[in-house]
Amino acid sequence: MVDPIKDLLHLYADAVCRQDADQWIATWSESGTWDLGHGEPVSGKGPLKTFWISSMSRFDTVIHTYSNSISELDADSGTGFGRAYVTEWLKPAEGETLVLHGFYDDLYVFENDKWLFRERVLNRVYMGKADFSD
């Protein structure tokens, strides 16, 4: 059985790992909002893509993985919600390697014949040195 949200998460993670801005933005709805838990949320495909490219430019490598996720979709309304647990290993262009552990609270929308992110809110559990010394 095909799970459209797991496929969406995998496309997103693949785009992050390969730093593919076009594939990454294709996982978002037209009015998508990304909230990283610090600063102002970013909304709309144009601003999202610009912000993502700027953020990713600070890193030589980002490995983005999901350990588990849950989701509930309502096909009649074309909406859904879910949670995805994420780990990122980040190698900045300058400085020490970091690790992020957290989870995304997501809202989904069925748009243009596919499920997309309408909103992603990152909840950080830990971000710092990979040995957890921060």
Return the pLDDT at 111: 96
Return the pLDDT at 78: 97
Q: Based on the number of CB atoms within 10 Å of its own CB, is 131 exposed (0-12), middle (13-18) or buried (19 or more)?
A: exposed
Return the pLDDT at 1: 57
| Cβ-contact 71, 80 below 8 angstroms | yes
| Cβ-contact 92, 59 below 8 angstroms | yes
10-residue averages of pLDDT along the chain (134 residues): 91 98 98 95 98 97 97 97 98 94 98 97 96 86
Return the pLDDT at 133: 87
DSSP string, 7-37: HHHHHHHHHHHHT-HHHHHTTEEEEEEEE-S
Burial profile 23-42: b = 16 or more Cβ within 10 angstroms, e = fewer = ebbbbbbeebbbbbeeeeeb
Return the pLDDT at 15: 98
